[in-house]
Amino acid sequence: MNRSRPFRISVLAVTTTALLATGAATSAAATPSPQPAASAAPSTADTPVERLIVGYKSRAAEAASDSAADKDARAKGEKAGESVGFDRRLGTGAALLDLGGKLDEGEAADVMEAFRSDPDVAYVVPDTRMYATAVSPNDPEYSHQWDLFESTAGMNVPAAWGKATGQGVNVAVIDTGYVAHSDLAVNVVSGYDFISDPFISQDGGGRDGNAADPGDWMNRGECGVDEDGLPVPGQNTDNSWHGTHVAGTIAAAANNGKGVTGIAYDATIQPVRVLGKCGGLTSDIIDAITWASGGSVQGVANNPHPADVINMSLGGEGGCDSGTQSAINAAVGRGTTIVVAAGNDNANAAYFNPAGCGNVITVAASDRQGNRAYYSNYGSVVDITAPGGETSPSSSNGILSTLNSGARSIGSENYVAYQGTSMAAPHVAGLAALMVDADPSLTPAQIESTIKSKARTLPGSCSGGCGAGLADAGAALGSGGTTPTGSNVFRNTADVSIPDNGSWVTSSVAVTGRSGNAPSSLKIDVDIKHTYRGDLIIEIVAPNGSSARLKEASGDSTANLLTTYTVDASGVAANGTWKLRVSDVYAGDTGYIDSWGLTF
């Protein structure tokens, strides 16, 4: 360590949450595939125990010798009145012990107490049965959903599924309505058709309780002319089935052996229809926002499923009008988080409605390389960026979701890749649904703050302003739904293996766009999965190469490290590459850096 102290470190506040290993205390390894971990099913008092996992401290003979471990197991078993023997060595170096049969909870507790009283034993846990609660989905098109899991510009969604899937959360999709699709049907609840003009509606009437999408095809010039006297649309168009595509990104069913996987695949979708032939009316949209969020609309029965989250992948020119803003404010006041698309005009989003409104999460779009998509609006009103895709030159770079093949009528269900901020917004709406599932007490402001502060730096370029960065679902749920402090966070969520009793490893974060030196209260949040965190030494390395130690090795036998260090880094420039440096200095336990970040 550099002892010249070119920047000062003072641990002003350390918040530590121990993530105790559940069941088999096997070491967590970095996996290249987007597969969240299984978690133990809830145990009951009658759950039998057949085996124990014992981790010995490195100095103990039992840590390396199978015969010594077997001798120790037999002696402790005899002391507890049970038959205990060595079975095998786990990959972590821990000993798996056979209890000679199924012991009840009390009998197993007696044996475990014999081990816990031994100073050479680091831990002892039952070898419990594990059940998958969130697995890599078996939906055949999941492998094409790069926007969910790719490390470059995906939203790191699988990392969040171990904590939430959207269960019990209702997301209102204010859009074109819903065309029946078997990959969505299980998650769709009754909505409403707020289109008041029968011409726009194309379903033969005005407002009604049926949010089914009959299509929004148009003939050339059917919607009038533009400011230059040119026909709108300029050519014949087919049905977009836009609302169904948006809904699939949010909550397409998972593990049903078909199609795609939604971000919050256990959430419900409530289709609220406002868009049809030639678009939609602001007045209808205002009523839809009000009704969807649980407010009252004259002549319409109250919503039986008030929305926790509203997605509006729609917009028009002219900036936010006061009517729309008033409806938004009231909806947020009722506890509904509102997510809107920034727009697809490669222009300042402030001049579009509802993108320019306050009290919403305005979402820009990125391409598969993490650049601002060429079409995406930008600017200071943008809060966050999410995958929106670019379908040229290859549709594989777009956002794949649920659709219908019907051009001028309802056809058969299918899956198509689209691009747009309309595709980016439902990524964030789905993330908001996951957060509400994980912590229903979160307010819309807390959800927005967390999504922004847990974003990671765009790996590509952005001109004009892309908000806090690229939304990161795993990071947003990493703190269990609490709201972190700080206005600008730079993160690295790539796993880095920590070799057992080995050399230093590093994980880097590139900080850009900051002026001057780092703050005197630089927050460094660290999430390390390790079976014996006392083995670890942790340092932070500044861009100029100077370093400071955050953690020394100790006798702390607890598994995993989730904590925040506060350091005085005012002596070094903020911009540049910062590194988290970690070393495991004892044998017998392994782990990896899960994620870490800097909050300025």
Candidate list 201, 376, 422, 479, residue with the active-site label:
422
Residue 469 to residue 285: CA distance in whole angstroms: 29
- Identify whether the C-beta of residue 177 lies closer than 8 Å to the C-beta of residue 451: no
Count of residues for the chain? 600
The SS3 of residue 55 is strand
Q: Cα dihedral sign for 395, 399, 400, 402?
A: negative
Residue 585 to residue 530: CA distance in whole angstroms: 13
Q: Which amino acid is at 539?
A: E
3-state secondary structure 314-368: CCEECCCCHHHHHHHHHHHHCCCEEEEECCCCCCEHHHEECCCCCCCEEEEEECC
Burial class (CB in 10 A: 0-12, 13-18, 19+), 290: buried
Locate 247 and state its tokens.
């809904």
Residue 5 to residue 485: CA distance in whole angstroms: 27
Strand-pairing partners, residue 539, are 549, 581
Count how many Cα atoms sit within 13 Å of the Cα of residue 315 in the half-sphere of its side chain: 33
Instruction: Return the ∠ at Cα 497 (arms to 514 and 562), rounded to 5°.
Output: 60
Q: Cα dihedral sign for 489, 493, 496, 500?
A: positive
Instruction: Find the DSSP H helices in 35-117.
Output: 66-80, 105-116
Residue 347 CA to chain centroid, in angstroms? 28
Q: In Å, how far are 74, 106, 248, 417 from 402, measured between CA atoms?
A: 59, 52, 5, 9
Helical (H) or strand (E) element with 447: helix 444-453
Candidate list 139, 175, 203, 284, residue with the active-site label:
175
Residues 6+ apart with CB under 8 A from 127: 23, 24, 49, 50, 51, 52, 53, 96
Question: Is 242 known to be catalytic?
Answer: yes
Candidate list 27, 216, 242, 287, residue with the active-site label:
242
Question: Is 422 known to be catalytic?
Answer: yes
Residue 584 to residue 561: CA distance in whole angstroms: 13
- Identify whether the C-beta of residue 6 lies closer than 8 Å to the C-beta of residue 572: yes
Residue 229 to residue 276: CA distance in whole angstroms: 23
Helical (H) or strand (E) element with 242: helix 242-251
Residues marked as catalytic: 175, 242, 422
